[in-house]
Structure 1
Amino acid sequence: MMFTELDSLKAKLDALRPLPKHTVKSLHEQLVLDWTYNSNAIEGNTLTLKETKVVLEGITVGGKSMREHCEAINHKEAIDFVEDIVSNKAPLSESLIKSIHHLVLKQIDDENAGVYRQQNVVISGAEHRPPGCIKVPDEMQTLVECHNRLEIHPVESAARLHTDFVKIHPFVDGNGRTARLLMNFELMRNGYLPVVIKAKDRLSYYDALDTAHTKNDYSFFITMVINAEIAMLNTYLELICCD
């Protein structure tokens, strides 16, 4: 099982704690940049990795829209918020989900930031159709209640949270970014590293989600998250064990 390799790597990293502060700081800075760039790029943001870095440093990039600048800044603030709630050991809740989404969409669509959609939507290119807007509140309540009762491997739990959240598509916009933030919230609160879904893997990412939604087969997406976690653990181990 891939969980065996994953947990072996996690145990190896945990055995090295406390980790070197400067190494962890540089790894964290790179993670935030990669996570922000890739998560926004998946949704169509045209900022490059270097441009995203510049925007996060407070510099405006010529030729890019204000929305794209806000998406980068907002995402960084959402990561900060998720890290804070993890350190405070906050449980998954609807208010937490709405708070994350509000940060993702603030100054972009303030009317809908943190507010469940009140209209029906379709997901472009997907076979799955989200539930009608009237069902969203009940579906989200059920999502949180069921997820908090799950007794499965934390990485599988994180993957399922992402998948089931996107299946509901509770907001008019920003669902993908919020889903990936929620997935990493679940990973981090269980002692795992946050993962980055690469923009170059967008097609296989969407296919894996649609397979879960239409065929109830989560295996492809769970495997994708496991591989991303293994890659992140190996990155940390390679730098920390460089001797």
Structure 2
Amino acid sequence: MTPQTTALLQAIDADKAKLDAARPLPAHTLASLREKLMLEWTYHSNAIEGNTLTLRETKVVLEGITVGGKSLRDHFEATNHRDAILYVESIVAKDEALSEWQIRNIHNLVLKGIDQTEAGRYHQENVVIAGASTTPPDFLHLPEEMRALIEWHDKSGGMHPVERAAELHTRFVKIHPFVDGNGRSGRLLLNFELMKAGYPPAIIQKEDRLAYYDSLDEACVSGDYSSITQLVANSVHRSRDTYLSVLGLRN
């Protein structure tokens, strides 16, 4: 990691300690913060992939209202992502270890009602990623690659949680095991790792899309995770600031 990233992680951990010391947090405040971050996470993660709903439209859709002039897929992507977050929260609450079964379940929720044939299933033919400098592994090797991902994760407990989450996300995206929905599923995995360690979700904003794709590409090609870790750390820091500000703990 770069000195800049190390310093940022130290600041994040100091803020985390401050927040942990204030627990238990007020129930209504915690619920409103969760709702805010869930909305923003859903909006930005979908917008990165081309969903056309605005932030306000996403909120309305999550409340069960149809937005005129928007595709059925746009609506499904919003409600599916919300359901996938709820699933991630449930496995974090149960302190479950990461597994291929969970990853398939997350992806199944992401594509529910959009492409039921491919939901939760590794792709059955070779694919390429538009704009990427690397090619995903042959589809015949996907089970082996995913097992290796879980094995790496099981042995990486000594890493800082933010660094580990960024690398888990990148390794998953490089494997690209599904026909569609890899980005959303990967960011859900990213935040599974962060939330499990007591950090807020990293919301990578649509305005950071280019920097995000560039840092992912750099890590996939070179194995240097510095840029993607820095970007994830910035996103965690932004979410942490939201918590501290609302709770009146920001100096």
TM-score range, shorter chain: over 0.9
What's the Cα RMSD here?
1.0
Aligned-residue sequence identity (percent) comes to 58
User: Structure 2 length as normaliser, TM-score?
Assistant: 0.95
Indicate yes or no: 2:188 matched with 1:170.
Answer: no
State the match for 1:202 in structure 2: 209
Deviation of 1:224 (Å):
0.6
Instruction: Say which of 187, 190, 195 aligns to 2:197.
Output: 190
- SS where residue 107 of structure 2 aligns? helix
Question: Structure 2 residue aligned with 1:8, among 7, 14, 17?
Answer: 14
Read off the aligned partner of 1:21 and give its amino acid letter. A
- Matched with 1:64 is 70
Kindly report which structure 2 residues correspond to 1:82-121, keeping only aligned pairs within 5 A, or say none.
Answer: 82-121=88-127
Aligned to 1:158: 165
Show the counterpart of 2:29.
23
Shift of 1:185: 0.4
C-alpha distance in structure 1 between counterparts of 2:165 and 2:211, whole Å? 18
| Counterpart position of 2:136 | 130
Give the secondary-structure state (helix, strand or coil) at the position aligned to 1:211. Answer: helix
Q: CA deviation at 1:233?
A: 1.0
Residue-by-residue CA offset, 1:60-111 (whole Å, 9 max, x unaligned): 1111111111000100000001001110111100000000000000110000
Query: Judging changes above 3 Å, is the alpha-carbon distance between structure 1 residues 86 and 242 closer, same or farther for their aligned structure 2 residues?
Result: closer
Shift of 1:7: 0.7
Q: Which runs of 5+ in 1 are unaligned?
A: none
SS in 2 for 1:113: coil
Give the CA deviation at 1:235: 1.2
Q: Does residue 32 of the first structure (1) align with residue 31 of the second (2)? A: no
Q: Give the 4+ runs in structure 1 shifted more than 6 A.
A: none
Q: Using structure 1 for the length normalisation, give the TM-score.
A: 0.98
1:157-178 per-position Cα deviation (integer Å, ceiling 9, x unaligned): 1111100000000000000000
Q: Which amino acid aligns with 1:199?
A: K
Q: CA deviation at 1:242?
A: 6.2
SS of equivalent residue, structure 1 residue 111: coil
How many Å apart are 1:217 and its aligned residue? 1.1
| Unpaired segments ≥5 residues, structure 2 | 1-5
